[in-house]
């Protein structure tokens, strides 16, 4: 007996709050804002790496710290989608909803990777 299996490949664009980036530039100046974006991207990259090392089904409480740091860094530079998905992971972990946590955890990793790539592309385009 053979079964057809459909492989889903979710594709979700990374969304940015460009107003937040503009506000950051006005608050601290363009040069300092570039440094803050670079620092936030490093934090985001490290936290995504930390999150990948956590088994969300057996070690969900260990997600709390890295997810909080990810939210703060993504909010700072206007990574709206990443921040929202990270908050969803927090909610699922707090509710101990294993099925929802599994889905949002994987979504967080996908959106995180896309967001980092998108912001580097944005930086390259701005010169």
For 78-97, give one letter per residue: b (16+ CB within 10 A) or e.
Answer: bbbbbbebbbbbbebbeeee
What span, in angstroms and rounded, lies between the C-alpha atoms of 39 and 41?
5
Average pLDDT, the chain: 87
For 56-95, what is each residue's pLDDT tens digit? Answer: 888 889 999 999 999 999 999 999 999 999 999 999 999 9
Instruction: Dump the DSSP string for 15-64.
Output: ---HHHHHHHHHHH-HHHHHHHHHHHHHHHHHHHHHHHTS-TTT-GGGGH
Residue 11 has pLDDT above 80, yes or no: no
Name the more confident of 49 and 1: 49
User: pTM here?
Assistant: 0.82
The predicted structure's pLDDT at residue 125:
64
The predicted structure's pLDDT at residue 117:
82
Tokens of 113: 């990777």
């Amino acid at each position: 007996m053979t079964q057809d299996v459909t492989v889903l490949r979710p594709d979700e664009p990374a969304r940015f709050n460009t107003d937040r980036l503009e506000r950051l530039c006005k608050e601290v100046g363009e040069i300092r804002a570039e440094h803050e974006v670079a620092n936030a991207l490093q934090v985001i990259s490290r936290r995504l790496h930390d999150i990948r090392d956590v088994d969300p089904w057996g070690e969900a409480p260990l997600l709390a710290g890295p997810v909080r740091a990810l939210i703060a860094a993504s909010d700072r530079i206007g990574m709206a989608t990443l921040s929202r998905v990270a908050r969803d992971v927090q909610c699922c972990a707090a509710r101990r909803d294993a099925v929802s946590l599994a889905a949002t955890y994987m979504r967080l990793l996908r959106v995180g990777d896309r967001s980092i790539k998108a912001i580097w592309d944005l930086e390259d385009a701005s010169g």
